[in-house]
Chain A
Amino acid sequence: MIGGDEARVWALIAESARRRSAVISAQDACAACARALAPGGVGVSLIAGGRLEPVHVAGELGRELLEAELTSGDGPCVDAVATGGPVLVADLADAASGRRWPMFTATARAATVRAVFAFPLVSGAARLGVLVLCRDRPGGLEPGEHTDALIFADVILALLFNDQAGLSGRPLPSEALALGPEIHQAAGMVSVQLDCGIEQALVRLRAHAFAHEVALTEVAREVVERRLRFTPDVSSQG
């Protein structure tokens, strides 16, 4: 069920795409997120070969931050992906940051980054990357801003899964942002059926839902109730 907050964030992203006269992509989510929460400082990095590679950036500060993480090899983004939970630093000048990530803190502060909010793009054990917001002034996010940032991260994650399923530019399934435990149980089962990683299983479920014009939650239920199996040679047998 799409809540009011989700609808509002989605409208911001759609507006961004409209300006580019393009289909909605993670780049639009980045740009909309920057306008809403952190002007000049948003980035998305994705895991590639065990490292976080910057893929989308909105603003100069965002670019500098992602480079700082790359250079130092540690920082809030790396930690966020490793732990699966957000790492929110209201003030890099705090002694704690310097102790936790000495190289990153020095590099980031030299680039005038003062606050960093890293939201992992994860789905359980599936770790795709990170959405990071940064500002040149200290201060934490307001509760409403936490909500919006989390929704932006959700949308970007859904768009990434969509891309991997070969569905770039297609609308997201309406329940994409409100999936229950069945989708994850189903993904676990499919990862064994196809002998693939959990991320790939989540992608295959989406591809199947689109191809058969069935809701994702319905596909998940069919898998969990063992009415639908995925086999390696054909994409699925119902």
Chain B
Amino acid sequence: MDTDTAPAAPRRVAQAFVALADTLVSEFDVIDFLQQLAERCVELLEVDAAGILVTDQRGHLRLMAASSEQTRLLELFQLQDEQGPCLDCFNGGVAVHCADLRGEDAVRRWPRFTAEVGHSGFAAVSALPMRLRAEVIGAMNLFRARPGAMPEQQIELAQGMADVATIGLLQERALRQSQILTERLQSALNSRVVIEQAKGVLAERHECSMDQAFAALRRHARDRNRLLTELAHAVVTRTLDPAELDHLAARLPGGSPG
């Protein structure tokens, strides 16, 4: 493994982009894509957590995908709807970096956010804008356990990942009409809601945690070559084939439902 200051090996970067591009051109599920991208960010950028937040177009930032389903982490992303580097990044349309979340500047700028971060053990953060032309649709949030500035090369790569996330989400490089932006964003937001509902169904049925449920959903979708959101929808509406449900359940710690 490279040292903390060495950039990700070019080959690994290339492999990551090829894999993401592959997702884009084949059968595409936007939530699964963003999930994979968040996980790649952690790998390539040598950060400890990544989250992708987008605007719901009515005044709130919503978490679309995160590198880990740990509740504490998710809350840390979500509370930035009200205050934090992510919100500042989204409002200003430019990258926001903080090399030391325990420092005076950070505490003064984001008192509530820094108080929460204190519990989580993260010491530094970067937020990169997700933008297409003049339109900022969200922000990519990267947390690091150690304080210190993000190296310039990694910042460039991080912005590249944020750009890929934007294009993946909107599927359009030239947004001629804001109608398409709204259609795609809102559809993706609703897909995320379906997934949360499916997590609840599985967690209750199989007495597992939400992140175990989510991991099982993703694995099953991948193995059965099904779109993640479609699978989640079938789970929630109870239209999933019983044999398939058993297969899904087999991946969970609880095993078959009682």
Q: Which residues of A contact B (CB under 8 A)?
A: 1, 3-6, 83-90, 120, 122-125, 140-143, 146-147, 150-151, 154, 177-178, 180-181, 184-193, 197-198, 224
Contact = CB atoms under 8 A, between A and B. Distances in A.
B183 A87 contact: yes
B58 A90 contact: no
B229 to A, nearest CB: 9
Question: Which 10 interchain pairs have the tightest Cβ spacing?
Answer: A188-B200, A85-B187, A3-B59, A124-B193, A184-B196, A88-B179, A185-B200, A189-B204, A125-B236, A192-B204
A192 B194 contact: no
Nearest to A1: B82
A123 B193 contact: yes
Nearest to A124: B193
B73 to A, nearest CB: 13
Q: Do most interface residues of chain B lie in helix, strand or loop, or is the interface mixed?
A: helix
Nearest to B201: A188
Interface in B54-106: 56-60, 63, 74, 78, 81-82
Contacts of B251: none
A1 B58 CA distance: 12
B153 interface: no
B233 interface: yes
12 contacts: A3-B59, A86-B187, A120-B190, A124-B196, A141-B182, A143-B178, A151-B58, A189-B203, A191-B201, A192-B200, A193-B204, A224-B200
Contacts of B196: 124, 181, 184-185, 188
A151 B56 CA distance: 10
Contact of B179 (A90, A125, A198): A90
A177 to B, nearest CB: 8
Interface residues of B, number: 39
A53 B108 CA distance: 54
B187 A189 contact: no
A38 to B, nearest CB: 15
Contacts of B58: 3, 5-6, 147, 150-151, 154, 177
A6 B59 contact: yes
B235 to A, nearest CB: 9
A85 B188 CA distance: 8
B200 A150 contact: no
Nearest to A185: B200
Contacts of B202: 188
Interface string B23-39: 00000000000000000
Nearest to B75: A180
B193 A184 contact: yes
Contact of B199 (A150, A188, A198): A188
Contacts of B198: 188
Contacts of B146: none
Contacts of A188: 196-204, 236
A198 B191 CA distance: 15
Contact of A146 (B178, B191, B200): B178
A178 B62 CA distance: 10
A146 B182 contact: yes
Contacts of A122: 190
Contact of B197 (A1, A85, A150, A198): A198
Contact of A84 (B74, B179, B187): B187
A197 to B, nearest CB: 8
Interface in B164-196: 177-179, 182-184, 186-188, 190-194, 196
Given A6-B58, A123-B193, A85 B204 contact: no
A181 B60 CA distance: 13
B183 A88 contact: yes
Contacts of A187: 197, 200
Interface string B13-50: 00000000000000000000000000000000000000
A122 B204 CA distance: 23
A198 B236 contact: yes
A11 to B, nearest CB: 15
B120 interface: no
A80 to B, nearest CB: 9
Contact of A85 (B63, B81, B186): B186
A141 B186 CA distance: 15
B186 A140 contact: no
Contacts of A198: 197, 236-237
B78 A124 contact: no
B60 A3 contact: yes
